[in-house]
Structure 1
Amino acid sequence: MKIRSSVALACFVAGTIAAGSAFAIDYPARKPGLWEIQSGDGTAGKAAGQTIQQCIDAASDKALRDMGQGMGKDMCSKQDLRIESGKLVMDSVCKIGPTTATSHAVMTGDFSASYRMESKSTYSPPLMGRTEGTSVMEAKWVGPCKPGQKPGDMVMSNGMTMNVLDMMGGRGKK
């Protein structure tokens, strides 16, 4: 069975981006509003795959970081975040079922207008037949959330909307 890189990336991105408070360095908070996030398998260094839109405010962004902290404590034996030459560099070792995923990611950008993450991972034993993977995620702030959207809403590329805060049992709601 072939793993869909967009699904793997979505899980990685959710865990990595939200994991800010799990690290010694505070992860930058994103600007409140509507973010467009493109993710792909890193082919030719581009994020040419799935596109989602996510509506956030300060509380929902913090709730996602807190969720990542909990995921990291449960799944990862190593989580290291440091600043190198103005870039955020993350190294992690996490368990996904019986597989150990060792990942290295570099993030650039200002988190108020845009940011980019490039990551490389190895899987032992292979994860769904893959021993390694690369991914690229590019995010840009597109403006205020659309009318009718609430913080935590994610609009998938197929048009489906889900609210990650509701899926978390309402954590982060005001």
Structure 2
Amino acid sequence: MKIRSSIAVACMAACTIAAGSAFATDYPPRKPGLWEIKTGDGTAGKAAGQTIQQCIDAASDKALRDMGQGMGKDMCARQDLRTEGGKLVMDSVCKIGTTTATSRAVMTGDFSASYRMESTSTYNPPLMGRTEGSSVMEARWVGPCKPGQKPGDMVMSNGMTMNVLDMMGGRGKK
């Protein structure tokens, strides 16, 4: 179960923050402020697992997208992002250790109030005994960041706060 959550979070992160010149279509920037992001395994068709909150501004949102693009270049032999009928669709082939993950993510929403991503993956050879997996992520803008929060702050389900920009060593590289 722990590996499934890690894979879902990694896929969510890569799919939601990857953008840039490598793609013909770019993800739109998210509205600055506090976002609530729920992730789940997709078996019930809705996000029901972990919930995090993330404080962003334009610079931190761009830094996260740039980080995702860099991860994609390092891990993925293929990442195709395109618009289909008002939805963003990403097909990718990425390495997770010795396993090749072939994934499709479909995103809907407007990135200023809410968006949703549903993804499915197959693993060859199996990853931790699994040949396939699915995840759902739902994100919604909840308002301005809370007093004392700074861009890049993430509050995890267990209440722990971390700053992803600090973890990336990116503070001040805006």
Corresponding position of 1:13: 12
TM-score (norm 1): 0.95
- After superposition, residues 1-174 of structure 1 pair within 5 angstroms as 2-21=1-20, 22-171=22-171, 173-174=173-174
Letter in 2 for 1:72: G
Q: How many residues align?
A: 173
Distance 2:33 2:2 in 1: 31
Q: Is contact 2:3-2:128 (8 Å) kept?
A: no
RMSD: 1.2
Q: Is contact 1:24-1:81 (8 Å) kept?
A: yes
Unaligned runs of 5+ in 1: none
Question: What's the CA shift for 1:13?
Answer: 1.1
3-state secondary structure, aligned to 1:44: coil
Q: Is contact 1:36-1:51 (8 Å) kept?
A: yes
Question: What's the CA shift for 1:17?
Answer: 1.1
Rate the CA distance shift 1:31–1:172 in 2: closer, same or farther, 3 A: farther
Distance 1:16 1:23 in 2: 12
Letter in 1 for 2:86: G
Distance 1:24 1:49 in 2: 32
Unaligned runs of 5+ in 2: none
Rate the CA distance shift 1:172–1:48 in 2: closer, same or farther, 3 A: farther
Q: Is contact 1:5-1:40 (8 Å) kept?
A: no
Distance 1:139 1:26 in 2: 18
What are the superposed Cα offsets for residues 126-146 of structure 1, whole Å, 9 maximum, x if unpaired? 111111000000000000000
Identical-pair percentage: 82
What are the superposed Cα offsets for residues 100-136 of structure 1, whole Å, 9 maximum, x if unpaired? 0000010000000000000000001111111100000
